[in-house]
Structure 1
Amino acid sequence: MKRYKSYTWIVWMTLTVIIMSAIWLIVRTNGMIETSADYEELTSFFQIWIVVGLPALFLYLLPKHIALNNPFSRSPIKTLRLQTAILFIMGLLFLIAMVLTPEESVFDYFYLYKLLFLFIIPLIIIKIIPAPHMNQSYAKPMQWLYPMLVTVLWIYMYFLSPLSLTSNADYEMGLLYLFIGAAVSFLLNSVLEELFYRVWLQTRLEVLIGTWPAVCTTAMLWALWHIAIQGGSSLDLAITNAIVYQGVIGLFLGFLWAKYRNVWVLILIHGLMNFPIQIITRIFGG
């Protein structure tokens, strides 16, 4: 525990930034924020915090995670630090590339940046500077039962509860193209982001700085690149929007990963957040 004591400032700084961002949004927009780059509907961040907060509270109350050894705890510390530093820099470069790209061109380069900075270069680094692989079997019952209970609660809150965050946005494209777009988004957003931010980066950071500092660091790094694609008409709104929305969701996903080490439920939750509900309404609505 003592080895992580000096990094607790990361946790307190993250909480402070989230609270200050929330106060700023209350002053500037009455707490209303954008929740998607695909449409401009506004939602109260209080509503979002409840939708995410109840599953997070339930996750906290569940029994502690099973004795899963962090595979990177066996790595030489210099090797681990080098790998982690390069991965963090790749995440930072992705953020910078997104922010510096003109708004009208950002979606033209979005997936190129993501493949380069979050997958291709990190994969090369992991191969060149080897460390133990995850080798996780997902065979132990607690790795599925408890995470799935959390996921079911999240699905209810997000899609079915009175606080549902689903949108009636109309995508002006055929069902086939909408389905293909959803599939590409699932692979390059949900799968790739959870692989890079949680499995690759957070797991290594946990060994170096502790669980919650790692969760906070990864959540903020993941959240802030979203300022390039959504968040408001000014930079201050874009930043605070990302912090109170994606930042809080990132804390939830990071906590779920740290506690149960089941990446599949992370991918499922992430994928459902990005899933165009219009596919379902078109298929079953006639």
Structure 2
Amino acid sequence: MRPLATLGAMPSRAVALDRLLTGFGLAMIGGAALWLLATGRTEVTTSADVEASPVTIPTVVVPLVAGMLLARLVPPQLPALRPADADARSALTRQVVGLGTVAVAFAVLALLLGPGSVWYGPVKVALLLGGAWWVLRNWPAPPPDGREHRRAVPGRWYWLGPLPAVVGWAWLAYYSPLTGPSDLSGYRAYEPMVLLGAMLLTFLTASVLEEVFYRVLLQTRLEALLGRWPAITATALLYAAMHTHRIGTGPLADMVAVVLMFNGGLGLFLGYLWSRYRNGWAIVAVHGAVNSLTLLPLLVG
């Protein structure tokens, strides 16, 4: 069995291209935050819910950066996913192209449907679940060594490693002095059971389905082909693209920047957690917290 390794054996030209693509993606996401600050934006709306209150830009950026730093430091060294074997790369590339096409198709259809469409949920399930199943069934390929990578991560780090990053991110994003009081008055018109039902549906179709598609299926295959950071940034941009239908009122450049900063930044954080620990529970927990954590007081209060 070959040892887990990085893409050090790749040709230098391919490595340079991967670095260029990674830099481009990171520049787009980081530049979006700088653009918003430069244009005088101090608050942004990160939720599609009309009842949601805006948050400050530092409330978005600081927790994500801190979470990624903690994931990098705890522990300092972990094995990386082994690159795909040469004889598997062609079939794996075809799967990646298929899954990427599904992701782009979903982003376009979501934009055409617009916010609040009753067809959004069925289209999402049909494409991210049904489309992914079709691609993997009809274009078989040796799966990337995600399970081998999972086994190579020591058990204590698989379970405990993500905790500092997840807890640190959650505290900074929702409970630290960075955050002001949340205005939940718009949600109080709904019965608690209605809110609970909506939260459970969102958990299944967003926190679980999106993470399985974007991180487990797509990013893992991209990692086996391109390496960690090209895969994370590419997947984060596709993940941000699926949220463009949420663009609200205001200058188009500002609204696109909000999606890149928040959803693209969240995609980087989730992607790095997945790449470091291969812990699906951690990324589902973070995604679930984004969608529901602020609403918990309405259910328990």
User: Hey, what's the Cα distance between the residues in 2 that align with 1:190 and 1:71?
Assistant: 28
Residue 121 of structure 1 is matched in structure 2 by: 131
Is 1:84 equivalent to 2:84 in the alignment? no
Aligned counterpart in structure 2 of residue 17 of structure 1, from 28, 43, 51: 28
Q: Which amino acid aligns with 1:141?
A: R
Q: Please give the per-residue CA displacement for 1:111-143, whole angstroms capped at 9, x wherever unaligned.
A: 122112211111122122233375457982211
Q: Residues 59 and 193 of structure 1: is their aligned pair in 2 closer, same or farther, counting only changes over 3 Å?
A: same
Instruction: Give the drift of 1:197.
Output: 0.5
Take 2:154 and 2:201, find their aligned partners in 1: how far apart are those partners?
Answer: 29
Distance 2:176 2:114 in 1: 38
Are 1:189 and 2:200 counterparts?
Answer: no
Q: Number of aligned pairs?
A: 282
**Matches of 1:40 and 1:176, distance apart in 2:** 19
Distance in 1 between the 2:228 and 2:214 partners? 14
Taking a change above 3 Å as real, the CA distance of residues 28 and 165 of structure 1, as seen in their structure-2 partners, is same
Amino acid at match of 1:185: T
Determine whether 1:249 maps to 2:257. no
Match for residue 175 of structure 2?
Answer: 160
Judged with a 3 Å threshold, the aligned counterparts in structure 2 of structure 1 residues 45 and 161 are, in CA distance, closer, same or farther, namely same
Within a 5 Å distance, the mapping from 1:120-159 to structure 2 comes to 120-130=130-140, 131-132=142-143, 134-135=146-147, 140-159=155-174
Q: Displacement, 1:165?
A: 7.3
Q: Write the letter of the residue equivalent to 1:277.
A: T
Moved over 6 A (4+): none
In structure 2, which of residues 71, 76, 85 is the aligned counterpart of residue 59 of structure 1? Answer: 71
* Long gaps (5+) in structure 1: none
Partners of 1:71 and 1:132 within 8 A in 2? no
1:140-195: per-residue Cα shift (whole Å, max 9, x none)?
22111111222222222223211237733232211111101100000000001110
Q: What residue in structure 2 maps to residue 221 of structure 1?
A: 238
2:117 to 98, 107, 112: 107
CA–CA distance in structure 1, aligned partners of residues 154 and 117 of structure 2: 39
Unaligned 5+ residue runs, structure 2? 1-7
Residues in 2 aligned to 1:29 and 1:109: alpha-carbon distance in whole angstroms: 36
Deviation of the 1:24 alpha carbon: 2.8
- State how far apart, in whole Å, the 2-side matches of 1:37 and 1:241 are: 12
Residue in structure 1 matched with residue 5 of structure 2 by the alignment: none
Q: 2:70·2:165 contact (CA, 8 Å) conserved in 1?
A: yes
Say whether the 8 Å CA contact 2:59–2:172 is kept in structure 1: no
Larger mean Cα displacement after TM superposition, 122-131 or 75-84: 122-131
The alignment partner of 2:143 has SS state of coil
Q: What's the CA shift for 1:229?
A: 1.6
* Partner SS, residue 108 of structure 1: coil
Output the amino acid matched with 1:127.
Answer: R
The percent of aligned pairs where both chains have the same amino acid is: 28
CA contact (8 A) 1:232 1:238 kept: yes
TM score, norm. by length of structure 2: 0.85
Out of 147-156 and 200-209, give the one that drifted further: 147-156
The CA deviation at 1:69 is 4.5
Q: Which amino acid aligns with 2:176?
A: S
- Deviation track 1:252-271 (CA, whole Å, cap 9, x = no partner) reads 11111111110110000100
Distance in 2 of aligned mates of 1:214 and 1:166:
36
**Where does residue 288 of structure 2 map in the other structure?**
271
Amino acid at match of 2:44: I
Shift of residue 277, structure 1, vs aligned partner: 3.2
The answer to whether structure 1 residue 178 and structure 2 residue 195 are counterparts is yes
